[in-house]
Amino acid sequence: MFGKIVSHKVRANKIHLEFEKNEGIIEIISPMIVNVFCPLKYDNHYSRAVEDLKIEQCEILVEKKDFYIEISTEALLIKVYDDFKVDFYSIEGKILCEDFREERAPFVRRGTISDAQDEGHSVDIQADKHKIEVVKRLFGDEKFYGLGEKTGHLNKRGYYYEMWNTDDPTPHVESHKSLYKSIPYFITLREDCAFGIFFDNTFKTYFDMGKENSKYYYFGADDGNLDYYFIGGNNVQSILKGYTDLTGKTPLPQMWTLGYQQSRWSYSPAGRVKEIAKSFREKDIPCDTIHLDIDYMESFKVFTWDKERFPDEKKILNELNEDGFKIVTIIDPGVKKEKNYDIYETGLKNGYFATDKDGITYVNRVWPGDSVFPDFSKKDTRDWWAENQKILLDSGVSGVWNDMNEPASFNGPLPDDVQFENEGRNTDHTEIHNIYGHLMSKATFEGIKKHSGKRPFVITRAAYAGTQKYSTVWTGDNQSFWDHLRMSIPMLLNLGMSGISFCGTDVGGFSFDCTPELLSRWVQVGAFTPLFRNHSGSNTRDQEPWAFDEETLNINRKYIKLRYKLLPYLYDLLWSGETTGLPVMRPLVLHYEKDKEVYEINDQFLFGENILVAPILEQGKKIRTVYLPVGQWIDYWTKEVIDGGKYILKETPLDICPVYIKKGSIVPNYPEQNYVGEKDIKELTLDIYPGEGQYVHYVDDKESYNYREGEYTLYEFIMKNDEEATIDINIKHEEYKAYDSFKVIYNCDITKEVYFNEEKISFVETDNKIEFVIPAVSGRLIVK
Ligand code: MIG
């Protein structure tokens, strides 16, 4: 495809290579990040994921050697050979990533496919050669993480996936090569080194992570440019930072979006929505949000209300808002083809819809019947769609849920030849498919931002790399299966490893009937997932926290209340994630990458750095092993201090989800509330697990962008634990009126005296802990 290197030129941060048959460019983005590019289709990246490519000026050395061109930054050494083979080394000379020089050689496969298929078996077939293909050598010590929303386990090594946004209602199992989202990015962890590869190509892409043969792995595409980023780093965390520096960070959301959310297909009519709201308050279960699925619309026409079911939507939404409920409405991309329906007419008049190859508006069937599809690849269409969000906001809607945006239709994916404007580079569906939902969420985000001034809440089903900037995601139509609860953990963890911090699954499962036990265990996981929404499909039996029996209700209440208690901690995680790119839900490997024991843990995760969750994912299970990494951990329920670096056994009656707090943690807690903002919280509880540790707590108005102008307050806590324990409290930034006092829960019962700024503080002693109150000012706390 390339042939021999003919010449090379250095232009600023780019090394242009001329090969016999093609050209290639190595672009140094930063000392750690390198782009490998060949303009097979376009002369430039025209990326939909990397919207603001920042080049870090750095020293680059380029030298021609006998058989290759050597490029070095202060962190990486890159060797480019004939045929555009590129090898990456650390600056110390350790080989990190090497192009495979031989031909692909699949493991042996025998028998005839057609016989098996005739009998109805689904069979894996041998993947062809792809138009674009980069094959890398497997050294044998690789673990792969990321690739967005895939079925299977945490480590993707040994499996094959495709990136082609897919709405497949059959139960998601390991043979699904693609689901709703396409995030062509993965992290490779090897012994003593790690790196990321982001293949920024929106066509259908292919990722074989060593399935075809254990000597190599590859990624390929049907079309587009050869355009991938090699992201080096000292550890997995810094790679995630590098990737999100490119594609964007999950922004801090409004705090209410982190509360509990209740959904169903569909709460309708208005009276039913009111009934649901009332039940939450009556049954003493906190809840912030109720979702309206497709039946609130008139004939499924987007941006309309069914006037029979919701005769006065403004009035009812206003009443719900006053009771502390936010309303989120679903919006699909398909616009009903109907004369005099103004969304359709306006779109048609302005050429906002995708067309067939003859330029005629393309029509397919979705919920509204014959529908047309906005061309979100075009800025004018996005601006128009953004304006339409105002219609919802004016009705009192607080967030928008984008569904069916793979895009899906009742006849499967749109045909390949549907035409899109693509900002002047006219193209067809094969290029736009994987970014359709991404661009729809971008439009939705921008509209809500413009018209509300607040941090938008958008939920999308389809996504591409970088969607985290605009939207939270849910993992689509799972089923009320234990298998799906189990699989949700690695799926969400890998979404987090792919930059999407704010994600969740339908708690309780979407299709099929949930059981009381499954809902009880699922809500225990949900309490620790960033998006905490119970949703279920049409015709499945009721799945609200109270739908079954007293025991299930109590368990739901217990864990939803725990979630509300932890809200300030969760909010801190999202705030810090804006800088670090680290997700809320983390595989243990993100913090303990030197510990081989954690590489394949599929059934435990960290909720931020300080809280380890080891949920029950099997029916009837009343005891489980938990791996505690090195250090000391405190059982959240019993307060027992346990040495880590080993497996322990934990008994798990139905109301216990094993949770451990790292020694040296300070966990901020809120008092009980029915919904975010119900109380003006003037006293923050600090749940302290004595030891060495630091914590930063962030406070702002919970909804606006004023924090970006500096309107926030930061408390820093530095805890030392020598003879006597000291906690230094420093207010690092104070431009938002936060707390008057801290209520300290100090989880240690051998205390004799407490001093704050040298003043003696009285405390009460309860089992295993003491409690006292101090003013929320800078100072030194001493516990003897
Ligand atoms: O064809 O709007 O994944 O959450 O409830 C089904 C109805 C369309 C699929 C979504 C699901 C939603 C449902 N939707």
DSSP state of 353: B
Distance 169 CA to ligand 1 centre (A): 10
Nearest CA among 182, 189, 89 for reference residue 142? 189
Ligand 1, atom 5, lies closest to the CA of 265
**Rounded to an integer, what distance in angstroms lies between the CA atom of residue 628 and that of residue 631?**
8
**Rounded to an integer, what distance in angstroms lies between the CA atom of residue 206 and that of residue 185?**
11
Strand partners, 163: 205
Question: Is residue 470 within 8 Å of residue 503, measured between CB atoms?
Answer: no
**Catalytic residue at 403?**
yes
Report which secondary-structure segment, H or E, holds 143.
strand 143-146
**Catalytic residue at 82?**
no
Angle among Cα 87, 91, 97 to the nearest 5 degrees reads 25
Looking at 83, 200, 406, 506, which residue is catalytic? 406
Q: What is the pLDDT of residues 340-389, one digit of tens each?
A: 999 999 999 999 999 999 999 999 999 999 999 999 999 999 999 999 99
**Rounded to an integer, what distance in angstroms lies between the CA atom of residue 529 and that of residue 6?**
53
- Determine the number of helices (DSSP H) and then strands (DSSP E) in the chain: 11, 52
Q: Provide the angle, in degrees to the nearest 10, between the axes of the packed helices 550-565 and 516-526.
A: 0
Question: Is residue 526 within 8 Å of residue 532, measured between CB atoms?
Answer: yes
Which of 167, 295, 332, 403 most suits a substitution to test ligand 1, by most atoms within 8 Å of the C-beta?
A: 403
Q: What is the pLDDT of residues 470-501, one digit of tens each?
A: 999 999 999 999 999 999 999 999 999 999 99
**Rounded to an integer, what distance in angstroms lies between the CA atom of residue 488 and that of residue 154?**
10
**Rounded to an integer, what distance in angstroms lies between the CA atom of residue 678 and that of residue 715?**
23
Q: What is the DSSP string of 400-426?
A: EEE-STTT--BTBSPPTT-EE-GGGS-
Section 628-655 average pLDDT = 98
Report which ligand 1 atom has the smallest distance to the Cα of 167.
Answer: 3
Q: Is the pLDDT of residue 120 over 90?
A: no
Q: How confident is the model at residue 506 (pLDDT cuts 50, 70, 90)?
A: very high
Nearest CA among 663, 718, 727 for reference residue 694? 718
Looking at 200, 212, 446, 477, which residue is catalytic? 477
Q: How confident is the model at residue 426 (pLDDT cuts 50, 70, 90)?
A: very high
Which of 179, 263, 477 most suits a substitution to test ligand 1, by most atoms within 8 Å of the C-beta?
A: 477
**Rounded to an integer, what distance in angstroms lies between the CA atom of residue 678 and that of residue 672?**
10
Selected residue with higher pLDDT from 717 and 748: 717
Q: How confident is the model at residue 118 (pLDDT cuts 50, 70, 90)?
A: confident
Nearest CA among 758, 743, 737 for reference residue 666? 743
Q: Would you mind telling me the total number of residues written for the chain in this entry?
A: 784
Question: Is residue 552 within 8 Å of residue 520, measured between CB atoms?
Answer: yes
* pLDDT mean across residues, the chain: 97
Q: How confident is the model at residue 116 (pLDDT cuts 50, 70, 90)?
A: confident
For 562, residues 6+ apart whose C-beta sits below 8 A from its C-beta are 527
Q: What is the DSSP string of 768-784?
A: TEEEEEEESSSEEEEE-
Q: What is the pLDDT of residues 713-735, one digit of tens each?
A: 999 999 998 778 999 999 999 99
For 342, residues 6+ apart whose C-beta sits below 8 A from its C-beta are none
Q: Which domains, ranges and CATH numbers included, belong to the chain?
A: 5-247 (2.60.40.1760), 589-660 (2.60.40.1180), 682-783 (2.60.40.1180)
Distance 605 CA to ligand 1 centre (A): 28
**Rounded to an integer, what distance in angstroms lies between the CA atom of residue 605 and that of residue 587?**
5
Q: Show the 3-state SS of 212-246.
A: CCCCEEEEEECCCCEEEEEEECCCHHHHHHHHHHH
Q: What is the pLDDT of residues 199-221, one digit of tens each?
A: 999 999 999 999 999 999 999 99
Distances from the Cα of 37 to the Cα of 24, 25, 185, 226, 520, angstroms = 6, 5, 16, 5, 50
Distance 584 CA to ligand 1 centre (A): 26
Section 616-634 average pLDDT = 98
A 10 A CB-CB count for 169 gives 12
Q: Is the pLDDT of residue 115 over 90?
A: no
Measured from CB, residues less than 6 Å from any atom of ligand 1 are 265, 293-294, 330, 403-404, 461, 476-477, 510, 535
DSSP state of 753: -
Q: What is the pLDDT of residues 525-562, one digit of tens each?
A: 999 999 999 999 999 999 999 999 999 999 999 999 99
How many CA atoms lie less than 13 Å away from 761 in the CB half-sphere?
A: 23
Question: Is residue 188 within 8 Å of residue 128, measured between CB atoms?
Answer: no
**59 in helix, strand or coil?**
coil
Nearest CA among 354, 41, 372, 470 for reference residue 223? 41
Q: How confident is the model at residue 122 (pLDDT cuts 50, 70, 90)?
A: confident
**pLDDT exceeding 90 applies to what percent of the chain?**
95
Looking at 332, 403, 446, 703, which residue is catalytic? 403
Distance 528 CA to ligand 1 centre (A): 24
Ligand 1, atom 12, lies closest to the CA of 265
Distances from the Cα of 216 to the Cα of 6, 10, 134, angstroms = 28, 31, 10
Q: Is the pLDDT of residue 749 over 80?
A: no
Exposure string of 220-233, with b = 16+ CB inside 10 Å and e = fewer, is bbbbbbbbbbbbbb
Exposure string of 591-615, with b = 16+ CB inside 10 Å and e = fewer, is bbbebeebbebbbbbbbbbbbbbbb
β-pairing, 185-190 vs 143-146, is antiparallel
**Rounded to an integer, what distance in angstroms lies between the CA atom of residue 2 and that of residue 417?**
30
User: What pLDDT, on the 0 to 100 scale, is given for residue 117?
Assistant: 78
Q: Is the pLDDT of residue 141 over 80?
A: yes
**Catalytic residue at 51?**
no
Distance 264 CA to ligand 1 centre (A): 9
Distance 403 CA to ligand 1 centre (A): 7
Section 79-93 average pLDDT = 97
End-to-end Cα spacing for the chain: 72
User: What pLDDT, on the 0 to 100 scale, is given for residue 599?
Assistant: 98
